[in-house]
Amino acid sequence: MKQQFSDIPGFDTWESVELLSKGWSTDKKYIVKTKAGEKLLLRIADSESSPQKKKEYDIICKYATLGFEMSKPLGFGLCNNGQHTYMLLTWVEGEDLEDALPKLTKEEQYDLGRSAGRILRQIHSIPVAQEDIPDQSKKTKKLTQLERYEQSVVRIAGDETAVQYVKDNIDKLWLEPPVYMHGDFHPGNLIFTPKKVLGVIDFNRWEVGDPYEEFYKLESFGVELSVPYCVGQIDAYFDNEVPMQFWETLAVYVAHASLYSIKWAEKFGQEDIDGMVRRCLAAMEHYNGFNNVVPSWYLEYKKDN
């Protein structure tokens, strides 16, 4: 296997290359161990995607100037006689945050959420190049996705209120100035390092868009792990002054994602469908059938703390 990487600069310093199977990415990911004892992350994609991957690498270079712990860029180019694109990054040592959170105290979970919120605000602070701003918002795309869900065989009972809520409030999306987004910011893409700080990985879903869209995955993947973490991320991002417009926008993203994720999971099998159904039903409960815009888990935490 290593021979396909032999034309990557620095290959002669590598000791071993091990395939990583974790994650949803279409990239192939490998742990590289060097003869000097370092660990690196190697991402491989088809050469046809080279322009997009080069852009991703350039964006990672922007993020790397911000000073937080992350998988930093080391090299980019073609390999395997031009058949593949490679991206070489530093390895962030530590434990996946989704595994670490349940072992920590509620106070530690909240503090790590605040750290995540500050990192996210840093990412969103980078000035956006005019040529990177999309011509259109995602409103049409999200309504089309919702329609696909409505026409699917995986619809769940009692979803009518959530469906209508998205349709009635779609114009609340992307009222904020566009930002560079991580695109998949949740505990599964954060590392709890031995120094007790957060490291950020997996930037391959980056995009330019609505900063508030970055938060709906708290409902999808964060709340079931740690409510204090989720509250902390929101509180710190807004410096403890969360605007009502944020909640109104976030509720639309949550309603849409909760429904469409069920359809999206079809290609992965019944276990993933069941997981998305469970999360959708939980979101409906947290938002009182989307009659409320501030989720119950946030309100209850703030009341008790």
pLDDT at 232: 98
d(CA 160, CA 146): 12
199 near 92, Cβ under 8 Å? yes
pLDDT at 21: 78
pLDDT tens profile 141-174: 999 999 999 999 999 998 999 999 999 999 999 9
Which percentage of the chain shows pLDDT scores above 70? 98
- Sorted by sequence, the CB contacts under 8 Å of residue 171 that are 6+ apart come out as 139
**In the numeric block, which tokens belong to residue 23?**
């994650």
d(CA 140, CA 148): 12
Place of tokens 């069941």: 274
pTM equals 0.93
Number of C-beta neighbours around residue 243 at 10 A: 11
Nearest to 280, CA basis, from 248, 255, 249: 255
Nearest to 72, CA basis, from 56, 91, 85, 96: 91
Nearest to 208, CA basis, from 115, 256, 136: 136
Listed range (86-90, 125-129, 157-161, 234-238) with the worst mean pLDDT: 157-161
Which percentage of the chain shows pLDDT scores above 90? 91
pLDDT tens profile 226-235: 999 999 999 9
Sorted by where each starts, the structural domains of the chain and their CATH numbers stand as 2-90 (3.30.200.20), 95-304 (3.90.1200.10)
Q: What is the DSSP letter of 94?
A: S
pLDDT mean across residues, the chain: 94
Place of tokens 């000097």: 36
**In the numeric block, which tokens belong to residue 205?**
């879903």
Q: What is the mean pLDDT of residues 66-95?
A: 96
Identify the band that residue 24 occupies on the pLDDT scale cut at 50, 70 and 90: low
pLDDT at 136: 86
**In the numeric block, which tokens belong to residue 14?**
């590598």
